[in-house]
Structure 1
Amino acid sequence: MALWLVRAGKYGEHEPRFFQDNRVYLTWEEFTGTDLSVAKDYEGIKSLMQQQYPGEPARRIGNWSGQVWAFVLATQLGDWVVVPRKSNGSIAVGEVKSGYTFDPGNAPMYRHYRTVQWLNTDVPRSSFDQDLLYSLGAIMTVCEIKRNDAEKRIRAMSKNGWHSVPVAPVSVGKVAKDVNQPDDEAEVDLEQLARDAIARVIIQKFKGHGMARLVEAVLKAQGFTTYLSPEGPDKGIDILAAGGAFGFDSPRICVQVKSGDTPADRPEFTQLIGAMQSVSANQGLFVSWSGFKPTVLKEVPTQFFKVRVWNQEDLIEKLLENYEKLDQDIQAELPLKRIWTISLPES
């Protein structure tokens, strides 16, 4: 069995179809009208790629051909797929249940697919060891993840409540190069890896009430006057924030913060709405480190003018935007340094 990385678009724009349809799609725009099953091996895929991109360098053709070959021919029934989610910063894991299918009746970007049984669509990135996150950071649309017993360890995670399971490293000899350019040679998303490292420190140092303290620090850096509820039962009110030196100006915001390792559900969202009314807040902010279940996300449009939701990615984004303005004690607990690096295109 193998483990495959499949991406749902550069910005996660195809995620809804992946999970609604119980499929992974090869969203390769230039091949929307071609049934790729006409290719019987890697060389056949490469020939189609050369016809489609006659002016591209050989190395790039080889890279792209390897990705399409992996999806169409190399993936087998029973293999597992991982899909890093852009929408909520988690990782979805599923089992392949069908061979490659081409359906010309589907919308152009959804004609190439494999059926998948999703085992968990919201595994927190913090549940994965750093070396696995490094492999999952490969900047490719499709590739096999083989390094460090990745498949064995993720299967073990599924039996351990999706928490990391130590697995002794296996000593192996030199492996012949795969035409699919395996994950140990793929470029990686350094920005995402840096954010994973930041996330790991945050969850270690700011778990529980500490997460509310971190959110309060961000709001203060944005210019709000705040009140932080003491540790303990808070009835859905972790932070109150408002504009003005004394906090008497608008907007008046009621904030609920969840740092647990499961996505927030609708009852918690409803609790925030009730808390907003009890303190006469005209707006709310719901921060959930592990993201939100679909029951919450369905409510977002109807509450658009009243409530905002932040997942892990959103909180880290706001933290980085306002880092220089954070309280010095927070900066000491979470020391960060800005660096510059080359921006690589997604393959």
Structure 2
Amino acid sequence: MNSPRLIEKMENNLWMVRSGESGYLFEKFMEQNIVAIGWNEIGDITKKLDLEDLKHKIQTSYPTYKISQVNNFAGQIFRFKNEFKKGDNVITYNPETRHYTLGKITSNYKYSAEKEFNHYREVAWEKTIPRDNFSTRTKNTLGSVLTIFKITGNAWEEILGKTRTATSSGSIEDDAEEEVEETLDLLKENFEAKSHEFIKDKVQALDWEEMEELIAGILRGMGYKTILTPKGPDRGVDIVASPDGLGLENPRIKVEVKHRQNAMGASEIRNFIGGLRPNDKGLYVSTGGFSKDAKYEAERSNNPLTLIDLDLLVHLIVQHYDQFDPDTRSLIPLKRIYWPV
């Protein structure tokens, strides 16, 4: 029989690999069954390469990088190539739907100059987990802006639904925190990314009536006056915004708000567009995001139409928060924090 310590060493690592800025590569990760990283300019690193050689490649390929950036990026690339193992667990995030997808790495490091992202590993994706299912502590762990990092301790247990095997002494041994050369810029990026996700959590926790009030409050903060339509069948319009508050002066903006987890499809967007008059502008807010076909329908609309997902909604909240009235601020209470420059 294996000793507890030997069993513990057999447990596979869990890695986060981010799917690009704002998750723009997420669908490609899913469709191609891969995880991948950028830095294409460094070329093929299939052959054995130590960390110092990798740093030199990065400095040569990206001469505008600061030393701290070179060190951080080299560490992430080195891990992706050398420390990831077949059978390790990997997780990535779709910020639009607020879901994490978990899978198993099924290949060694691969390089292809023909792919959009040259450095990749094949993955068997297994399941999707809503962000809301995780504790605040795990959400905080997952909030790092690093492209790649190792997930350990309680977050490892919660994501994989396992308990770490006890050591021979009978205690649970958590891995130490990853040591990263944290410059002021990196700390700021991490802080901003985590704050952005926690604001999304607060928005997601609102009920549908509060969500409509929030959207109306954002528009008022942007200088419009708003009318919320009566509850009940609204024929696809929840809010009307205009300079005079009556919808008589242009621009007249009609707003539909959908506060749900599922992405809106093309049919919902077509129905909304069908209710717009020639001079109307449209806003369609969906906290569950939008399908590709829905985005296509919005682009081809004869009426100007903007789709607002949860990420864009949080950007608007932060951008216009100082202009919010007290009722709107009470829905999403935020505190300003100053950062050295």
TM tier, smaller = 0.7 to 0.9
Segments of 5+ residues of structure 1 without an aligned counterpart are: 157-165
How far off its partner does 1:46 sit? 0.8
**Greater mean alpha carbon deviation, residues 50-59 or residues 131-140:** 50-59
Counterpart CA distance in 2 for 1:177 and 1:203 is 30
Which residue number in structure 2 is paired with residue 129 of structure 1? 135
Identity of aligned residues (%): 26
- After TM superposition, the structure 1 = structure 2 runs for residues 219-258 of structure 1, keeping only pairs within 5 Å, are 219-244=219-244, 246-258=246-258
Counterpart CA distance in 2 for 1:213 and 1:146 is 40
**Greater mean alpha carbon deviation, residues 265-274 or residues 299-308:** 299-308
With over 3 angstroms needed to count, the CA separation of the structure-2 counterparts of 1:334 and 1:312, relative to structure 1, is same
Which residue number in structure 2 is paired with residue 112 of structure 1? 119
Counterpart of 1:250 in 2: which secondary structure? Answer: coil
How far off its partner does 1:201 sit? 2.6
Aligned residues: 317
Cα displacement string for residues 53-85 of structure 1 (whole angstroms, at most 9, x for unaligned residues): 489999876644431232112223343333344
Please say if residues 145 and 193 of structure 2, whose CA atoms lie closer than 8 Å, have aligned partners that are also in contact: no
With over 3 angstroms needed to count, the CA separation of the structure-2 counterparts of 1:57 and 1:203, relative to structure 1, is closer
How far off its partner does 1:228 sit? 0.8
Segments of 5+ residues of structure 2 without an aligned counterpart are: 1-11
With over 3 angstroms needed to count, the CA separation of the structure-2 counterparts of 1:79 and 1:263, relative to structure 1, is farther
Which residue number in structure 1 is paired with residue 19 of structure 2? 8
The reply on whether 1:23 has 2:24 as its aligned counterpart is no
Q: Among residues 28, 47, 51, which one is paired with 1:38 in the alignment?
A: 47
Cα displacement string for residues 166-223 of structure 1 (whole angstroms, at most 9, x for unaligned residues): 9899963364687x7599xx9561112222332333333x311211111011112222
- After TM superposition, the structure 1 = structure 2 runs for residues 72-151 of structure 1, keeping only pairs within 5 Å, are 72-85=81-94, 88=96, 90-95=98-103, 96-107=105-116, 110-119=117-126, 125-148=131-154, 150-151=155-156
How far off its partner does 1:16 sit? 5.9
The amino acid across from 2:112 in the alignment is: D
With over 3 angstroms needed to count, the CA separation of the structure-2 counterparts of 1:59 and 1:284, relative to structure 1, is closer
The normalised TM-score by structure 2 is 0.77
The amino acid across from 1:129 in the alignment is: S
Please say if residues 143 and 181 of structure 1, whose CA atoms lie closer than 8 Å, have aligned partners that are also in contact: no
How far off its partner does 1:15 sit? 4.9
The reply on whether 1:172 has 2:165 as its aligned counterpart is no
With over 3 angstroms needed to count, the CA separation of the structure-2 counterparts of 1:177 and 1:218, relative to structure 1, is closer
Counterpart CA distance in 1 for 2:198 and 2:41 is 36
Please say if residues 292 and 311 of structure 1, whose CA atoms lie closer than 8 Å, have aligned partners that are also in contact: yes
How far off its partner does 1:272 sit? 1.3
The normalised TM-score by structure 1 is 0.76
RMSD: 3.6
